[in-house]
Every structure is written in C-alpha cells, then in structure tokens.
Structure 1
Amino acid sequence: MNILKQIYDSLSRLPMIIIAGLFLILSILNIFFHIFPVDPAWITILICGTPLVVLALQRIITQFFISSALLISIAMFASIYIGEIFAAGEVVFIMAIGAWLEDRTVEKAKKGIEGLLRLIPDKAKKIKKSDNNSLAEEIVDVSDLRIGDVIRILPGEIIVADGEIISGETSVNQSILTGESLPVDKFVGDVVFTGTLNCFGSIDVAVTKTLQNSSLKKMVLLAKEAENKQAPMQKIVDKWAQWLVPIACLIAIVGYFITKDLTKAVTVLVVFCPCALALATPVSIVAAIGQATKFGVVIKSGEALEKMGTVSVVAFDKTGTLTKGILEVSDIILFNIEENKLLSLAASCESHSEHPIGKAITSYVREKKIPTHKVSNFVMSIGKGVHGIIQEEPILCGNEKLLEDFHVSYEDSLKLTLDKLYSQGKAVVIIARDYKVIGLIALCDVLKENVKEAIYSLYSAGIHRTILLTGDNKNAAEYIAKKSGITEVNSSLLPEDKVSIISQIENEGDYICMIGDGINDAAALRTASIGMAMGTMGSDIAIDAADIALMGDDIVKTAYVKRLSNATIHNIKVNISISMVINAIAITLSLLGILNPITGALVHNVGSVLVVMNAARLYDRKV
C-alpha cells in the first residue's frame, strides 16, 4: 500500500505533469508527421492516467463514492480501445492539471499547537519542610508536580501549574488565556493558571491540577480537537460527478444502440469528461488568493476562501483585534489644580511602578515633555496603587481601596464620575495630595481606526450577526461593542467558553468566522467555520491556527475577504455553467457525427481556456 501511495504521489507532482505535457505535444506532432512508431501520448496516459484510475478505484472501494476520476478513467479506456491514444492522453492531462492546481490551493500550514506548552519552564520551585520544620526550596521538574504540592512563583516568572494562592498577593497577566489587556489582582484564595505571568509579588501556590490536566493543556487539546473536527469540503466537481457518470454512460450506450457507431459513443464519453469543470474551482481560487495576497491578506486554502462565502456570523476578540492592546490616557479630570501639575505628580510617583497603568501614565507625560520630581518613601500596594513623598507632601495614586487605607474622603459626585468611567471599561487612577483628592486619570485600550467602518462593511457584504467574545470584564466589553457597532457581547470568557459559544452557533446551522490575535484565541479560531488572525500583531500560534491572516492588521479587510469570497463563488458557478454548456453542445455534435474523439478532446481545450480566462479576471477584479 505504501509503495502504491509513493507511486501515486510521484506521478501527481508538477515535474511529472510537465513531462506528460511534453509527450502530449510530441503526440500532436506525430499525428501530422508520423515521427515515432509508437504514439508518445502513451507516456502521458501512464503518468496522468495511473493516479486517476487509482483514485477512482480507491473511492469506489473504500468510500463507495462515484467521482469525476471514474468518468475520466472510463473515457480513457474507451478511447484506447478504439485506438484514439491522443484523445485519451489529452483528457487525463487536463484533469491532472486541474488536480494539481486544487492541491496547491488547499495546502494548509499546520504547525503544531504544541508550541503553547513550550511557554512553560521545565523547572519549578517546590516548597517543602526540612528536617527542622523550616521551609526550603527544591528545584523539581514541572512534570513531576502533583496535586497538593506547594510551589513558589517569583515576580516576572511564568506560573507553571494551575493552583490556589496560599501565601502572598500579586497581579497576574492572564492575557495568554483570557486576552485581558490589564493584569488581574490576586490574593490568598484566588486561582492562578498555567502559562500566565506573575507580574509583581512573590506567591506560594498549592497545585490543584497537574500539567496534563492544566488549563493550558486543555487549550491545546481544544485546538487539536477542533482541527480534527473540520472535515475537508467535498469538491464541487465531484458533487456533479455523482450524476454525470451514470448520465454520460447512459447517453453513450443509447447513442451506440441508435447509431451502431462505437466511435460516436466513445466521443460522447470524451466530451462528457469534466475537464473544464475540473478547472472551474481551482483556477478561480488561485486567482482570488493571488488578488488577496496583493492586498495583504493571506488565505491558506481554497476551502477557506469558499467557506467564507457561506459565513453569516462574525465573532471578534477584543484586545489586539478591535483595540490596539495598549493602554492610553483617555480622560483627565481636575479638582483645583493645573493639568500639567497633576500629570507631573502622578508620573513622578508612577515612574517607580512596573504596572502597565503606571507605565502608560509615565509614557504619556514623557511624550508631553512635562518635568517630574524626585520621589521618596515609595511604596507599591498590590491591587491598590502606589504612594510616596514629593516635595515633602504625601502623594497617593491608586483606587478607592488605597484612599480607604489612608482615610481619604471624597464627595458623592466623585463616586458618580468614577462609576461613569468604569461603565466605559476604563481604568481610573485617583490622585490625592496631602490626603485630598486633586484629580483623576482614566485610561483605556483604544479602539483601532476604521473599526466601525469595518463592521458596517461586513453587514453590507451579507453578514447578519456580529458578536464580541472577550476575556475582559463586562463594562469594557460593552463599551467597545457599543463604540464599534457590534450587537452581541459575551465577556469574562476563558478559551473553552469561546469554543463552546462558537460550537453552539454552528450547531444552530450558521457558519461563523472568528477573528482574533492571541494565543488564547487559537482553539476558537480552529473551532470556527473560518478562523481569521491579525497577522502583524497576532501571535504565531494564532496565525498558525487561522485559515486567513490579515498581514496589515487592517480590520476593514475582513469585509474585503467576505466580498472576495462571494465573488469567487459566483465566478466558480459561472465557470461550471460555461463547462456544462460546452459539454451539452459537444455531446449533440458527437451524436451527429460532427465530432470524433480527437476533435472532441480539442473542444475540451477550448472550454478549459474559456474557464481559465474567466477565472483569471478575479486576479485584477475590484471587489
């Protein structure tokens, strides 16, 4: 079986098809000049016909499936039987070209999703009691960790196991799992996940799941299951072949009994071969993929391009897809202080912080070239904020919890302002000087340009529903959805939640396109009918998991891909119509004796040229 497969693969490769074409040309010359004692088209039949016969038999025996390969095999043997060797070679050669083109368009980059697990260090710091009952660290393999073991995670380290914090407090960057743009504050009793990043404090974690059962491993398995679930789409030409084969044979048999002419019957079989039909799909797809590449869109397979035309629902991740994934200052609210003075005090204090909010404020003030001050007695409180002494005055930068610790009171109007900013999904830093609130600085993940235009264009292209699937909190999600024009919102999701929602939509009979950029989107991208990744900002794993990548991160291109897919499907249908009309005319001429096997085979070339010319229009067509 392996030897047959090797022979099949070797004969189906482009160099062998080129050699077959050269021998077919020699066969044409031999018709006129009788150069060779044996028709060179026999070599073409051997190279291009063998894979078709093997494929036809394999599909009949193993799948009980009548394919176009069976009809071509019948026509080939019939032509050989009556001595029309060139006709037999020409038919199988055209089909070999079509098969090669289609194989070229459906090759998908299937790099291992196992790359996710390489994010986790090999070693862990296990805490155990020594002989004198003191605690000691022991370096162990992560794979050897068991439920109940206690591990220590230092600031800046990757958390190596799912578990519960039993000592310490910190902020954890969970973007690998949830896509959240801000670290999440964690305290004793809170759960942490494998692969996430410990940002600040040292924590001791009791392991609750081994690596094989961890949240990250589960994400890997989800992505693999989704990949295996996606069966290849049945080729259009083979759908037609299920009834083309019996009809062709019936017409040929009836024609033979009426005309008593075997040549006419064989000619019917030759002209009925779906040569132009075989090129209708792959050539259109190659042309469309070529156009997409010019516009910075990488479509990995013809199947993906065709499926996109059936999509009626589009789901978006938030961070990095709809938004820039970078915190920026959005609002500055002052209470009896100048703006530059407030920013100077805040940036001076936050300049010692490693928190993304502090870095964003510091960067904003640096760009404005506002001078800062020296800070003494700097303290960072996990989950609350920072404070220090500037010019002999205490400065607080943080949230309401920090103000409560220092007994700083504020009016109800300030609470209303905070609630309004929180409802917009913004992070807010309250600045107090000498224990009195002097201002607020709000930050948010900024919406990308043209997002609203992209959503409107998708509706215009035939999309019926748009959905936001994000790990961010409800307020942030609803605010971004409202600004972008997305109608449905699902927030605070883990990767498996996204997969569940997508599967539910597909079970309802809708085709869905998932658009994301992060590692946490990989399983959802593979589960969806079509996965589309943001190529420049997106993670390599997300891009590998997707069927389509937008290399410029221009979200408007999503609507372009939908329109291109619609145009491609229309082009394929036109090509199929052209090939069927030519077949109908050729069959009539064959039964009337106007065409013989050789001229009938040449008619196929005309049909194939027309199909290729029509498909080529997609390359430069404006969609």
Structure 2
Amino acid sequence: MLKRFTDFLAGVPMTIVSGIFLLLDLVPHLSEELTGSEIGALPAPFDPAWATIFISGVPLVYLGVWRVIHNKGISKISSALLIDVAMVAAIAIGELFAAGEVAFIMALGAILEDKTTERARKGIKSLIALAPTMARRIDGGTETEVPADQILSGELVRVRPGETIPVDGRIVAGESSVDQSVMTGESLPQDKGPGDEVFSGTINRFGSIDVEATKVGQDSSLSRLIRMVEDAEGKQAPMQRIADRVASWLVPVALLIAVGAYLITGDLVKAVTVLVVFCPCALVLATPTAIMAAIGQATKHGVIIKGGEALERMGKVDTIAFDKTGTLTYGRLEVSDVIPLDGRLPQELLALAAAAEVRSEHPLGKAVVAQAAAEGVAVAEPDAFAMDAGRGVRARMGAAAVLCGSAAYLAEHQVACTTADVPLKRLCAEGKATVLVAIDGRLAGVIALSDTLRPSAAEMTRRLAGMGVRTVLLTGDSSAAASYFAGRAGVSEVHAELLPEEKVDAVERLRTRGHMVCMVGDGVNDAPALKTADVSVAMGEMGSDIAVDAADIALMGDDVSKIPYLKRLSNACVATIKFGITLSMCLNAVAITLSLVGWLTPVTGALWHNAGSVLVVLIAALLYDRRFD
C-alpha cells in the first residue's frame, strides 16, 4: 500500500503539481533575498513549499529508508539518503523552499530516467505463437489429428507441405525442403530425406514427410529457444545509477563537511547550506538528459534505442558479433554465376533452366526465373513438368529434355557431371548454392546462387576497426559460406554452423574473456544471443518481431552502416555524462566554499544548485543536434 502511494506521488502528474507549488513559493523568497525584507511571505504551515516537500519528499524518504534496510554493504548509502538528510536539516531551520527545491529536482530526475528506460517485452508471446498446437499422429497406418503436446517420443508424425513441424525428430519416409530459418537464420531451405533430422518450429515447404519424434514438449528445440530467451532476460541486471555509485562516498563527505562547518563556525545555517548545495541533483540529471538527447538524435537517423542502459553499455563495447543472413547480407538468394559447359551462351543456358523451373516452388528455381526476367531473357512454358521434392525438376521443351538439380539428382538420371568438378569446387568454397543443368542427358552447365552482401558491410567493419572494435561472425551457415562472406565484409573472426544455443555459448565465451559484447542479428534464432550480449541490435525492417523485441536497439532501415554511428553516439553520450558529473562536482565545490564564507544562504544555495542543474541539462541537450557522420 505504501509503495503504491509513493509511486503515485512520484508520477508525472503529481510531480507537475509539486513544481507548481514550488514556483508559488519562489516569488516571495526571491523578493526577500533581493530587498532584504519579507514581502508576502505566508506563515510556515501555509507555505506552498510544504506541498512540494510532501509530494516530492515522501517518495525520496521511502526510497532512502528502503535502501538502508534492504540493500547490502555500501549500497545502503544512496543519493536519496543525502537528499533526505539535507531536506530534514533545511526543514529543521525553517528553510522550506530549500527543502522543497532539492526534493523536486530529484523527483524530476527520476522521471526523466524512467522515461528513457521504458521498453516493451512482448517477444516471448510472439515466440510461443510459433509453436504448432496440433499434429498428425500416425498409428498403424491411420492418421489422427491430436494436440501437439500429446505426441510422445518414438511416435510417428506426418507433416504436410506448408505445415510447421511440431517435434524434433528424424525423417523415416518422404523427401522435402525444410525452412530452418527459425533455428539457424539460413534463408535457403534445406533438402531433407529419410534419416535427416528436423526441428520443431521449422516449416516443411514441399513434400509430405513422416517424422519419428525424438524430443517433444519442453525438450523440443523451440521450447528450449523460448526458455533461453526467458533465462537471458532474467540475467539482465539493471545498471546501478551513476548517482548512487557516487553517493557511497558523497554522503559521508557531505556530512563531514557540514559537521565541520558547524563545529568551526558555530553557524547551523552554514552547515545546512552545505548540505543543500552538496545534493547531487545536477549529477542525477546529467545521465537521463544526455540519454534522452542521444535517443532523440538516434531516432532521427532511424535508430530506435529502447533504454539508457543500452547507450551506456554500447559506449563501452569493444567487440561486435554479427549474424550473417539478413544482417551482413540481404537474406535473399540471387543468381551470381551462369557457367555453360557445352559451348552455349550464358543467356541460352539461363533461358533453358528458367523454362524448366518456371513452375517450381523451390527458392532456387524461383531465383533462376527471377534472374531471367531481370535480364530480359524470354522464358518458354514447358510442355511437361515434374518436381522431385528436395532433389530437382524435370521438364520438356519441344524435343529437349531438361534436368535441373544437384549432382546426385543428375547422376540418378545417368548424367555424367565430371566436367563440373572444377567450377563446383570453386563455387562451394565461396559458399554458393548450385543448380546443375542437363540437356538431353548431357551436362550443359552450372548456375550458382548466393546471398548478397550489403554494400556498406565492408566500410562498416573498417570504420569499427578504426575505433578499436573487433568484429565476429556468428552464423548457422556452412563454414564455406561464412568464411567467404566474412572475408568480403572484413570480419576478423568466424564461427559457423551454430544453433541458437551455440550462438549463446559463443557470446558468453567472449564475455568471459573480458570483452564487452554487442550482438547484431535479425532472426528468431538470434533472440537468445541478443538477450545474452551486453547490448544488442536488431534489424528492424526485415528482422523478426521477436528479434526486434529481444534487442536493446533496432535499426529501422536495416542499414548496418549505422553501427559505427551508433558506437560514436554512445561514446559521446558516455563522455557527456562524465563531463556533466565532473561539472556538477566542481559547481558543488565552489558552492561549498561560498557557503562556508557566508556568501550563500540555504535559499540562494538552492538557487545556485538549481542553476547548476539547468547548466548540466543544457550541455547534455546539445547531444541532440551534434553531428556524428
């Protein structure tokens, strides 16, 4: 009950009311200081400052006392405790305006800080929604639809084209291509057949398959993925406020100086003035104001920062780990090479392959047809078409019989592929997918397809290296594809063929070596690693909602060139905060000196203190318009 009441008093509406009462009390005090006589001052019980003291002071007293009771060690001493001491001392000598002013400034700082750290946490719900609710159990040849959570290990499940696989298991019958992007982030569906493993939450794209369940319910890959996000969320401890860290030594120093001032001068007013000017309000305001300004500027550049802690941590990052597909690359397949092997022109080979694939639903076939359209190559309709799910296609154009597929598929149709060994070896080393094309039983050529590196990726890593930041690639792709793209992007360290939990392990290993790690990703499979990293960035435009929600920062334009900008902005934000803290401490030192010689009273000390807070806020606000290009 008391906590709810103090939260109500600390809210925005009541803080505004508190400020109005403080303003009403300011006018007579200013007149009194300027003229030396009381003009319009009200009796103490009716002084408007009492309302400010109550509204903004009660939550501070509650917070200070709660920390003394519940915190451990030196953390019992907080900035709230120093404000409480100053507020009580000012009230004791009748300086209500001074007491109200320090309480109000602290309340305002707390609101600013809260506004910069609000963030939605809806990712878990989105992740759970990926889990299929129903499954087709096969028992004695009979197909029965049952709730997915009733499937037991060892039972058979049939998954039709377009359906989500409900369990982890092994294919016992059927062939298909499975979209595993939810687990690996890889945009290219994987061809699967009997004996191959499949994971829950992945999507069966083409043929019908029968799967023997090996891991079900809470043991399945998707359930483990959900738990990893939840666990990582729980491990993210909020950063301690800078003001409270400083307060561990600030409170004893302030009390010693105030007591010393009283013992030396015998003047209680000077001691109270020291406490008032020593209050860390400017220090408290330095952090949230700089963060608000930096977040505002980042928003103008299409970078959404969800909280101040992310900015502070980003300023300390020395290692940035990237996912590949959809992050360093566009995450879509395009034809990269058309290599005739029988003397045809590349356009002829492309036209024949596109004609054979024009009715195909496979991503490789669609990419070949799209390339032909982009080059203005005429694509004929086949007279006959057949698709062998997960292996290749057969088509007939007039008298010509065309096969498109893997080397193994062509070998099944007695097509020799030895002439393709050299180009296939090179293309494989570059991490490219390949489609072999045969005409009338003879190999005609090879078409290679690859994801496309973002043009800004190499320049981005070069600029990060110039700032002393190392780059790491963490991907579910093959080692060949990962090494090829890492080399082109200038990434210094590569870890490939990683499942989500292995990405988490890689991030944790980097952290245990003393590195401050930022993770950049776009897929559901990146969510646990995003949560585990010290700070995380998601590709907001084409990335999954789960990745965006799991991350601290989202790039709404999917522009990785903003990463160096983000790093520089974060560095500047941290530097501005440190400067603001240093400046506030210097202003406090000057104010203490003026208080000890009697040039400041509690009221003028409160005004000095207020002016210092405004100066710190103005300096921090300059971040909003500073250029970091």
TM-score of the pair, normalised by structure 2: 0.96
CA distance in 2, matches of 1:594, 1:603: 11
User: For 1:566-586, what per-residue CA distance to the aligned partner results, in whole angstroms no more than 9, with x for missing partners?
Assistant: 001111111111101110011
Residue type of the partner of 1:111? K
Please say if 1:56 is aligned against 2:64. yes
Alignment-derived partner of residue 238 in structure 1 = 244
Tell me, what secondary structure is at the counterpart of 1:537?
A: coil
Aligned-residue offset at 1:403: 2.0
Residue type of the partner of 1:572? I
Pairwise mapping of residues 513-532 of structure 1 onto structure 2 (< 5 A)? 513-532=518-537
Aligned-residue offset at 1:461: 2.7
Alignment-derived partner of residue 365 in structure 2 = 358
Residue type of the partner of 2:86? A
Residue type of the partner of 1:29? V
Alignment-derived partner of residue 103 in structure 1 = 114
Alignment-derived partner of residue 11 in structure 2 = 13
Residue type of the partner of 2:436? I
Pairwise mapping of residues 301-316 of structure 1 onto structure 2 (< 5 A)? 301-316=307-322
Alignment-derived partner of residue 70 in structure 1 = 81
Alignment-derived partner of residue 597 in structure 1 = 602
More deviation, 592-601/375-384: 375-384
Tell me, what secondary structure is at the counterpart of 2:332?
A: strand
CA distance in 2, matches of 1:112, 1:538: 13
Alignment-derived partner of residue 44 in structure 1 = 52
1:181/1:472 contact within 8 Å kept:
no
User: For 1:187-240, what per-residue CA distance to the aligned partner results, in whole angstroms no more than 9, with x for missing partners?
Assistant: 112111101011111111111112221100101111111111010111111111
Alignment-derived partner of residue 513 in structure 2 = 508
Aligned-residue offset at 1:385: 1.5
Residue type of the partner of 2:196? D
Count of aligned positions: 614
Alignment-derived partner of residue 139 in structure 1 = 145
Pairwise mapping of residues 117-516 of structure 1 onto structure 2 (< 5 A)? 117-129=128-140, 135-334=141-340, 335-412=342-419, 414-463=420-469, 465-516=470-521
2:182/2:524 contact within 8 Å kept:
yes
More deviation, 431-440/444-453: 431-440
User: For 1:212-269, what per-residue CA distance to the aligned partner results, in whole angstroms no more than 9, with x for missing partners?
Assistant: 2110010111111111101011111111100000110011111111101111111111
CA distance in 1, matches of 2:80, 2:271: 19
CA distance in 2, matches of 1:467, 1:138: 47
More deviation, 399-408/613-622: 399-408
Aligned-residue offset at 1:280: 1.1
CA distance in 1, matches of 2:531, 2:516: 13
Tell me, what secondary structure is at the counterpart of 1:320?
A: helix
1:313/1:510 contact within 8 Å kept:
yes
CA distance in 1, matches of 2:109, 2:131: 45
Residue type of the partner of 1:608? S
Residue type of the partner of 2:408? K
CA distance in 2, matches of 1:437, 1:417: 13
2:472/2:493 contact within 8 Å kept:
yes
TM-score of the pair, normalised by structure 1: 0.97
Residue type of the partner of 1:526? K
CA distance in 2, matches of 1:167, 1:436: 31
1:114/1:220 contact within 8 Å kept:
no
CA distance in 1, matches of 2:66, 2:238: 17
Q: Could you tell me which of 105, 116, 139 is aligned with 1:94?
A: 105
User: For 1:550-599, what per-residue CA distance to the aligned partner results, in whole angstroms no more than 9, with x for missing partners?
Assistant: 01111010111100010011111111111011100111111111111001
Unaligned runs of 5+ in 1: 130-134
2:123/2:547 contact within 8 Å kept:
no
CA distance in 2, matches of 1:409, 1:145: 45
Tell me, what secondary structure is at the counterpart of 2:215?
A: coil
More deviation, 434-443/262-271: 434-443
Tell me, what secondary structure is at the counterpart of 1:374?
A: coil
User: For 1:448-476, what per-residue CA distance to the aligned partner results, in whole angstroms no more than 9, with x for missing partners?
Assistant: 1211011111122331x211111111111
User: For 1:486-514, what per-residue CA distance to the aligned partner results, in whole angstroms no more than 9, with x for missing partners?
Assistant: 01111111000000110111111111000
1:474/1:491 contact within 8 Å kept:
yes
Aligned-residue offset at 1:411: 4.2
Relative to structure 1, the CA distance from residue 411 to residue 185 in structure 2 (aligned partners, 3 Å threshold; closer, same or farther) is closer
Pairwise mapping of residues 596-615 of structure 1 onto structure 2 (< 5 A)? 596-615=601-620
User: For 1:118-147, what per-residue CA distance to the aligned partner results, in whole angstroms no more than 9, with x for missing partners?
Assistant: 123321111112xxxxx1111101111111
Tell me, what secondary structure is at the counterpart of 1:321?
A: helix
1:30/1:39 contact within 8 Å kept:
no
CA distance in 2, matches of 1:251, 1:601: 17
Please say if 1:567 is aligned against 2:572. yes
CA distance in 1, matches of 2:278, 2:369: 73
CA distance in 1, matches of 2:123, 2:621: 34
CA distance in 1, matches of 2:90, 2:82: 12
Residue type of the partner of 1:562? K
Aligned-residue offset at 1:382: 3.5
1:122/1:142 contact within 8 Å kept:
yes
Tell me, what secondary structure is at the counterpart of 1:201?
A: coil
User: For 1:591-614, what per-residue CA distance to the aligned partner results, in whole angstroms no more than 9, with x for missing partners?
Assistant: 111111001101011111110111
CA distance in 1, matches of 2:7, 2:113: 15
Aligned-residue offset at 1:431: 1.1
Pairwise mapping of residues 537-556 of structure 1 onto structure 2 (< 5 A)? 537-556=542-561
Tell me, what secondary structure is at the counterpart of 1:9?
A: helix
Aligned-residue offset at 1:35: 5.8
Alignment-derived partner of residue 35 in structure 2 = none
1:29/1:35 contact within 8 Å kept:
no
Alignment-derived partner of residue 132 in structure 1 = none
Aligned-residue offset at 1:410: 3.9
Unaligned runs of 5+ in 2: 32-38
Tell me, what secondary structure is at the counterpart of 1:166?
A: strand
Residue type of the partner of 1:466? T
Residue type of the partner of 1:197? I
Alignment-derived partner of residue 557 in structure 1 = 562
Tell me, what secondary structure is at the counterpart of 2:434?
A: strand
2:131/2:222 contact within 8 Å kept:
no
1:534/1:543 contact within 8 Å kept:
yes
Aligned-residue offset at 1:345: 0.8
Identical-residue share of aligned pairs (%): 53
2:538/2:548 contact within 8 Å kept:
yes
Aligned-residue offset at 1:117: 2.1
CA distance in 2, matches of 1:171, 1:357: 11
1:517/1:542 contact within 8 Å kept:
yes
Please say if 1:29 is aligned against 2:27. yes
